[in-house]
């Protein structure tokens, strides 16, 4: 399978409502919030945030499984910050928190996995060239087991 490139298509339905065609995976509607659009779907900033959080979560799972570890229920939240920069709205940062479904004590390979997992995340490492992304991992007891922050260069 060649995953070195991909193609999506989108078309405007009405106003700022667009349909994105993911081929075999179906369609997703995106829209801008009111008053610009009708808020009938996630906006592009939210789609970008979802891609970052999803990629980081999948990369952590991949790294853990390389060490024969299972994180239990894995979930994440991401907070994006949008500000005016030189008069235009820009995404200026993301903060991601990934939650493991087990305690760190039950994952002996966790340290090795967290040392490398961000390197596997194609989306986050690409986004970081322009947007700072901070990442925290907490275990099922709420203990922070990892934290990183990048500064825009």
User: What would the pLDDT profile of 78-125 be if each residue is shown by its tens digit?
Assistant: 999 999 999 999 999 999 999 999 999 999 999 999 999 999 999 999
Same-domain status, 22 and 82: no
A 10 A CB-CB count for 112 gives: 15
Find all residues with CB under 8 Å of 129, minimum gap 6, and list them.
Answer: 153
Could you tell me the two tokens for 17? Answer: 């409502």
Indicate yes or no: pTM above 0.75.
yes
Same-domain status, 21 and 69: no
Number of domains in the chain: 2
Instruction: Return the closest-CA partner of residue 48 out of 149, 148, 117, 131.
Output: 131
pLDDT for res 150: 63
Q: Which domain holds residue 25?
A: 1-42
Same-domain status, 124 and 137: yes
Same-domain status, 89 and 72: yes
Same-domain status, 4 and 55: no
């Amino acid at each position: 399978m060649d995953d070195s490139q991909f193609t999506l298509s989108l078309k405007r339905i009405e106003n700022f409502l667009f349909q994105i065609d993911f081929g075999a995976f179906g369609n997703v509607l995106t829209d801008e919030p009111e008053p610009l659009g009708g808020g009938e779907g996630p906006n592009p900033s939210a789609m970008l945030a979802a891609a970052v959080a999803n990629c980081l979560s999948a990369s952590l799972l991949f790294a853990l499984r390389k060490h024969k570890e299972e994180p239990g229920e894995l979930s994440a939240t991401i907070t994006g910050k949008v500000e005016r920069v030189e008069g235009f709205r820009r995404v200026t940062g993301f903060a991601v928190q990934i939650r493991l479904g087990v305690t760190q004590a039950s994952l002996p390979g966790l340290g090795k996995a967290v040392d490398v997992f961000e390197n596997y995340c194609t989306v986050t490492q690409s986004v970081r060239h322009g947007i700072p992304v901070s990442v925290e991992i907490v275990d099922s007891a709420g203990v922070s087991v990892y934290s990183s922050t990048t500064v825009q260069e």
